[in-house]
Every structure is written in C-alpha cells, then in structure tokens.
Amino acid sequence: MEVACGSAAVEPPMSPRSPPGGGLDLYGKRRQMVKVQVLEREIGLLQEELKSVEDLQPASRCCKELNDFIEAKPDPFIAETAVRAVHHFLHCARAASAAAAVARKKGLVETVANVWDFHASAMLAAASSLQTESVKREFPADAVLGDGSILGGVSLYSGESLPEYKLPLVYGGDCGSRYCNMGRLQSSKVQGKIVVCDRGGNARVEKGSAVKLAGGLGMILANTAENGEELIADSHLLPATMVGEIAGNKVKQYLKLSQSPTATIVFRGMVVGGSPPAPKVAAFSSRGPNHLTPEILKPDVIAPGHVDPNRALNPGLVYDINVIDYVTFLCSIGYDSKRISVFIREPTSSDVCSRALSRPGNLNYPSFSVVFGSNTDVVTYKRVVKNVGGSADAVYEVKVTAPPNVEINVSPNKLVFSAGNTTLSYEVTFSSTAGGLEGSVGVKSHEFGSIEWSDGDHLVRSPIAVMWLQGSTDHSSI
C-alpha cells in the first residue's frame, strides 16, 4: 500500500514473473491501483495548520502515523495488525478529543472538524477491509457436459472459444494435481482436453496457466466445501469457467460414471440483471452475522455513501460512544485486564471489568441484534441518545416495526429533551413469540424490523436483526 497522507492506495503484489517497472503481469492484467482520495492537498495544509497551534500537535502527528502504518504493508490476517489499528484509532481519538477542547477555547472549530472528517475517512479507507459487492452485471460461462447437463459458472475469458464439438474431460487429481499446480500435471493425460481443477492451493488463474502449459485446452474450476457457491469471474489464460461446489461435485460424479466423459464451455458475455438484485456482499467480505458476537449487527462497510447526505449532517439524535464503552464491551465477551491492556496500551487494574455490560448487545450502537436462546426468550437492551438537533426542547416519539414472531416494547415511548437535559436513555424489550414454531423458525433463522424516533423534523431509524439460536452464546473461547 502507499499513501500520501490523504490518499490511500491498495496495490496487489506483482508476480515474480512480472516485468520490471510494472506493465502487464503473468496473467495479462495491468497492475491495478485502487485509490481512495481523502483531499490530499487539504490534509497536507491541515497538518501544517495543526502544527502551528499549541496543544494541537498530537492531532497533527496522527496523519503521519497513519501513513507509516499503511506504508508498512501490514498483513490484515495477523492479529498484531488489528491491535496496531486499534492503537492508532485510540491514540487519534484522544488527540482529536483534546483538539476539540482546544478549538472551543481558540475558535478553531472548523479546523478540528476537518480532523474528524479526515480520520473518519482514513479509518474507513485504510483500517477497514476493502469490501466487495456485486453489481447487476454477470459474466456467465456454462460448463456443458457430454450427458447434456448444463452447469452455470462465471468467467471473464475473452479469447478464442473452444471448438463447437465437445472435448475429452479429465480430473486434475487423476493427472498429477487436483489443484492443477504448475509443473505437476502430466501432459500425456492432459493434452487436448478440458481439465477439472479444484479451487484452493494456488492462484485461480495460475491453475489455467498450468493446464495450458501442459497442453490442456480448457479448464473447469470447481469450488470445494471451503468456498461453497461463491463464484469469482477471472480473466483466464485459456477457455475456463468457475462453478460452485454443487456443480463441481456433479462434474466429478459424471467423470466417475462415464467411460468417455466430454465437455465444452459456452461463454455468454455480459448479462445485465440477474437475481437476486445487487448489492450482494461476497463470502470473503464483511458479512453478518458476527460469529464471535452475534449481538452486534455488523455494519455495511462497502462504503455505499449516504442516501441523503443533507439529513446526515443534521441527524437529530446521535448514539455517543467512547473508549470506556468499548472496554466494557470487551469485558462482556470474556476479555480480561491483560488482554484489554494490549489494546489500549495502558496498564489496567484487575477490576477494569467491574462495569462490564450485562450483555454484549448493550453496546451503545444505533442498531439492535437480538439473539434468542429459545422460542420463548426475552432480551432487553438499553440505549443512550443525545439531542443534537436545532431545537433544545425536542420531543421524539417512537414507531416500532416488529419482526415476525417478536413483540417489542420501548420504554419510554417518548423522549422529552430540554436545554438542561440533552441526553436521555431508553430500553427496548424483545420477546420471542415463536413457541411451538420449530418447523418455521427453528435454529439460526433470522427476521428483521426497526424502530424509528421522530420529532416531526428528524427521523432516526435503528435496524433490528433477530436470530433464534438454541442455547446461550458462549464467548468464553476467546
């Protein structure tokens, strides 16, 4: 990765066979760089502006620290990387909070607002995993077997198609390598044939390269149980398609039963439409529910932007949260003082968890994720909201859209703010009414709803996700 303190770029590593200086890599793709612009010039000026003001230098240094962190090319799959990201976030949160206090005294509110805007953008761009969503465009490529079966797959191959007649079909595992590793396939068994390769073990496009070098004419890339039905369209070096686990198993079964198995691949170009409609989040991306803490509704970090940015600037109510809130949340899922001190970089006392949340779902998020341990379970969550609207005497009333098989009670059902009382709390009680409906609800089924607070000018909506999961959620394995 590379960043110029305000622009973040993610650059895929080049193949060892790539020509010096970039250009096309082994797979015929031009090097890609995904840049997230965060007002590079303005951020550079902001750094200098913060440096010039006493007590604001820590906030200025945060930009440089973020640069250093990204330029180190951290591995997102290593726990240390997550810890370092948290360290940076907490440090900058403290620095920005201090900057806000100084700004109020020195009339620099606009400058500090820029600090918040920058870090919010930078954290999403650099600390969050890049998310992948589908668009309403598909690139189907069917695997057609000798018995007439047509198995749907995807591919971005754009070269010459296969002959109109079907070709002999073989399994890579019977020809030296089920994953079609480079140099492992036996040319005598692959020459002039379509090869079925299992996904995993090496790069997807590399498998096709191995098949081509061994004399193969095409490839059917089959998902295994690890990847299920998630499909990725690649620019293959030879006619190839990727199929899901179910289709892959059918191909292998056909290979076992047929004395002379054959197949071909039919490419259908780009198809607009498809079902279900976009967006869909890829399996490797940030989908819910959260396996560790299903009581937290995972946010959509695909970064779709605001549907109505003007309203986002004037939300009416906000759900404030701070470092201590996150500490009490970690305590509620089994973290002890030693583990917590690793994250916050400060010594913690043995009683740091004396204020642990009664349940993880009580973290003050503007969403609700409810886990019922039985079909007659009752769950209560508490939330604290702050009035940031134009009227200090705003009165908000609640509207509930309950998920099926769930009763919801909000107490109080009216929030009356005043100039001296800008922060209020409320409780939401969720009661499962799904008793005796094991067949239709059962384990791990989901339902959705919402609650909406409105003062006539603002509409503050909180999504609700409900899951039935037999037995209590165990966080002790952390």
- pTM value surpassing 0.75: no
State which of 110-124, 135-149, 388-402, 438-452 shows the largest mean pLDDT: 388-402
Domain ranges for the chain: 2-127, 137-272, 309-320+364-468
Q: Judge contact between 149 and 180, C-beta under 8 A.
A: no
Q: Report the CATH architecture of 309-320+364-468.
A: Sandwich (2.60)
Neighbour order of strands in the sheet with 368-372:
368-372, 459-468, 446-454, 395-401, 414-416
Which CA distances in Å does 375 have to 184, 409, 450? 54, 17, 20
> Could you tell me the two tokens for 129?
């995993």
CB-based contacts of 292: which residues, under 8 Å, 6+ apart? Answer: 333, 475, 478
Listed residue (97, 125, 110, 94) closest to 5, CA to CA? 125
Q: Judge contact between 286 and 298, C-beta under 8 A.
A: yes
Each residue's pLDDT tens digit, 350-378: 777 877 788 999 999 999 999 998 888 99
Mean pLDDT of the region 333-358: 78
Beta bridge partners of 384: 425
CB-based contacts of 17: which residues, under 8 Å, 6+ apart? Answer: 25, 26
pLDDT of residue 442: 45
Each residue's pLDDT tens digit, 197-252: 999 989 999 999 999 999 999 999 999 988 888 888 899 999 999 999 999 999 99
Each residue's pLDDT tens digit, 308-320: 777 778 899 999 9
Name the CATH topology of 137-272.
Answer: Glucose Oxidase; domain 1 (3.50.30)
Burial (0-12, 13-18, 19+ Cβ within 10 Å), 393? exposed
Distance CA 305, CA 20 (A): 38
> Could you tell me the two tokens for 157?
């191959």
Distance CA 411, CA 275 (A): 40
Q: Judge contact between 194 and 220, C-beta under 8 A.
A: yes
pLDDT of residue 333: 87
pLDDT of residue 66: 53
Mean pLDDT of the chain: 75
pLDDT of residue 446: 81
